[in-house]
Amino acid sequence: MAAGYTEEHEIIITDRFNDLLASCAKTVKKEEEWELIRKAFFLAKEAHKGVLRRSGEPYILHPIAVAKIVVDEIGLGAKSVAAALLHDVVEDTEYTVEEIETIFGEKIAYMVDGLTKMAGVVNSDTSKQAAYFRKVLLTLSDDVRVILIKIADRLHNMRTMASMPRDKQIKISSETLYLFAPLAYRLGLYAIKTELEDLSLKYRYPEQYFEIADKLNATEHDRLEFIERFIAPIRQRLHESGIDCTIVGRVKSVFSIWSKMQRKGIAFEDIYDLFAIRIVFKPTELIPEKSQCWHIYSLITDIYPPKPDRIRDWVNFPKANGYEALHATVMGPNGVWAEVQIRSERMEEIAERGFAAHWKYKQEHSSEDEFDKWLKEVKNALKGPTDDAVEFLDNVRLTLYTSEIVAFTPKGEPRKMPQGATVLDFAYNIHTNLGNKAIGAKVNHKIESIYETLKNGDQVEIITSDNATPSLEWLEHVTTAKAKQSITTYLKRSRENNVERGIELFDRKMREFGIKPSARVFRKVLPAYECSNKDEFYSKLGSGIINLDSVDKVLRQNSMSKVLKFWDIQLTKPFKSGKDSTTLLVGNNSNDSNAPKFVIAEDCNPIPGDEIVGYRNPETNTIVVHKAGCEEVTRLASQHGENIVSSIKWSSYKAESYLAEVEIRGIDRIGILVDLSQVITVELGINIRELAIQSHDGIFEGKVSVYVKDTENLNALMKSVDNIKGIEKVKRIL
């Protein structure tokens, strides 16, 4: 470390700080606030004196950049700027929180302390990561600024990550996508959330990122021309109606396009809604804003016909993060669908600045709103017991990153729920005891299962029974963190009794066979009953989830009932770690007994030809092969980035058969099933594992599970099936 900065460094530092001060002029007015910012800058500069970032820049430029994001892109004030300038001082230098409090006061010291603790999220193992994340999120209700500054810190780190090693880029970008982008979304920072997603994609899958970015650039001229043609009649109609507004076109982000391509299995050229039109109006004082939104909607639909099922009413039912707008999809020129977003200037500021703007406008209203309810929900969830760090992080994430629906109680009270929520989620949303006793529901006055998925606008009345209790199966049918936590807490409470009962039942059964329970017995029993350990087996047995009717057959088997398919690997040099640049080849035989084995991930089931990423399990010396866009590998990379193997590809593989699943839809006719079987089995010689078709109202839909050699083989099948008369849609789903 050098004794100080060079003259050139000093000039750059001064210029950047002056730029920050110019930005602060929009929010900082009092002289004591200016003094606070200057004092924080000079202390941070002295503390980080001579330290350079990996890029070669003076380290002090990082906190200055974070402070500028805090002002320009989030809209916070002087204390937040000071905390941003000081956010690494306690962590990286000899200064203490107590010294910061003495110099700057309790509030800034509190924020710096929270930011210092937050650093543990990125520098520790999964258990510590969960503990740190829980502790910092608990500060949400006390001072959300801690999280907002940390998001600004993460954004600047992502913007300047080019000089980082590849394995660090993968870990940090995966963690950003897994935790920080959802946090930014939930706090209403849409622009930051979008940039974090795009940067994560850029560093995780650079080829796909630049391919989409290049295609967007290549089509920009035609797209801008179409947007102007689309906007012109709207602009004229609104002007004639005396509405003061601005209208702009917004292109979808690279990440959202990539996600849609992955989710729907389509090419870039098949995505029709690449842009949205945003209308921001200056409200008239005498008319409520929501009424003006609907008035503008009616004027637009006089010009372009709307798509009825694509109206999103967030003016009557704002999102939990405070977002308000009216979204509609309309048919534009040349038969092109386009999304139109309608919002007031106040709604626009909240959409752009998120929580900071929301809080400013909230001062005018003292009543509790959706954002306050969400903060309370998060705090309660974080106080709940959980032993599993990964489960904790997943549950927190559930409260962050979901589309929303509105369901109603029998008395008409609206309840916001994540899209995909079930009757059981709704019951727990009302009250934990109601969820624990639920046996069914009347949804829109029709009897439905507790597993029924709710739709926007459903009215739900929960049916209960005193004899009902939560079961392990319930966890597979809920999506909200509150429901998962409530069920888990109940099951853990009753688990001890179940384990004792399970031990008694198993011992009794083994005595009937004259067998003493041993490690050899459990090596057969546990996988047969899909249990990972003895406690899980005893608990399931004691609670009645599994029984011992067929245990004698299990014990007679010479091997496990569930066998994973392994592949050897061939390396050009010895395997070292995820940081090694050696390309690993899936599918070749190796005589090296020390070489790790490959196992295909069952959740995404990649086949030769798919882009793949590996996760090395250091305990079993295996590498689990996932599809590149798999959600599970994103989660693993965010917490164990050092074990991600990115240099991995299929070898010149043998003629193996791999399971794939295809979804089909079309117009029903006599003989369609025969034609489908003929094409797949006779013409293509592909083996069908399962074929399930349902027909209703002249439309059929279903799934076909087949064994294929690779993606080329699968694509040929999909193309041939697509050519069958009546087939309207063919899509790979596994």
Name the DSSP class of 179.
I
- Name the amino acid, one letter, at 186: R
Taking CA atoms, 208 is separated from 79, 163, 257, 611, in Å, by: 41, 20, 11, 11
Annotated active-site residue 91? The verdict is: yes
For residues 119 and 172, give the distance between their C-alpha atoms in angstroms, rounded to a whole number. Answer: 12
Cβ count near 289 (within 10 Å) = 16
Residue with tokens 């029998």: 410
299 touches 328 (CB < 8 A) = no
| Cβ proximity of 525 and 550 under 8 Å | no
What is the Cα–Cα distance from 523 to 533, expressed in whole angstroms? 10
426: which 2 tokens?
Answer: 């709704």
Contact indicator for 660, 714 with CB cutoff of 8 Å = yes
pLDDT tens string 376-394: 665 555 555 444 544 555 5
Point out the residues of the chain with pLDDT beneath 50. Answer: 1-2, 120-125, 363, 365-367, 385-387, 389-390, 558-581, 589, 653
**Where do we find the tokens 């004082």?**
285
Helix then strand then coil, in percent of the chain rounded to 5, is 50, 15, 30
Q: How many CB atoms lie within 10 A of CB 173?
A: 26
Between CA 455 and CA 496 the distance in angstroms is: 38
Position 427 scores a pLDDT of 93
The predicted pLDDT at position 198 comes to: 95
Gyration radius (Cα) of the chain, Å: 29
Contacts 24+ apart (CB under 8 A), 3-6: 3/49, 3/50, 4/49, 4/50, 5/49, 5/50, 5/58
The Cα–Cα gap between 341 and 252 comes to 13
Burial of 37 (0-12, 13-18, 19+ CB in 10 A): buried
Query: How many residues in the chain?
Result: 734
Distance separating alpha carbons of residues 462 and 483, to the nearest angstrom: 15
Other residues' Cβ atoms within 10 Å of the Cβ of residue 607: 25
State how far the Cα of 262 lies from the Cα of 426, in Å rounded to an integer.
30
List the one residue out of 264, 296, 259 whose CA is nearest residue 279. 296
pLDDT of residue 74: 85
Residues 551 and 548: their CA atoms lie apart, in Å, by: 5
Regarding beta strands 622-627 and 597-600, do their DSSP bridges make them parallel or antiparallel, or are they unpaired?
Answer: parallel
What's the pLDDT at 244?
93
Structure tokens at 446: 């029709």
Q: Which two tokens stand for residue 271?
A: 């995505």
Are the beta carbons of 83 and 149 closer than 8 angstroms? yes
Catalytic one of 72, 92, 377, 710: 92
Local structure of 264: helix, strand or coil = helix
Residues with Cβ < 8 Å from 142, sequence gap 6 or more?
none
DSSP 563-611: ---EE-EE-SS----TT--PPEEET-----TTSPEEEE-TTT---BTB-
User: Which residues have a Cβ under 8 Å from the Cβ of 686 and sit 6 or more positions away?
Assistant: 680, 706, 707, 708, 713, 717
Question: Domains in the chain and their CATH numbers?
Answer: 7-163 (1.10.3210.10), 213-362 (3.30.460.10), 489-556 (no CATH), 566-650 (no CATH), 658-732 (3.30.70.260)
- Residues 463 and 440: beta-carbon distance below 8 Å: yes
Any residues with CB less than 8 A from the CB of 102 and at least 6 apart, and which? none
Q: What span, in angstroms and rounded, lies between the C-alpha atoms of 594 and 569?
A: 10
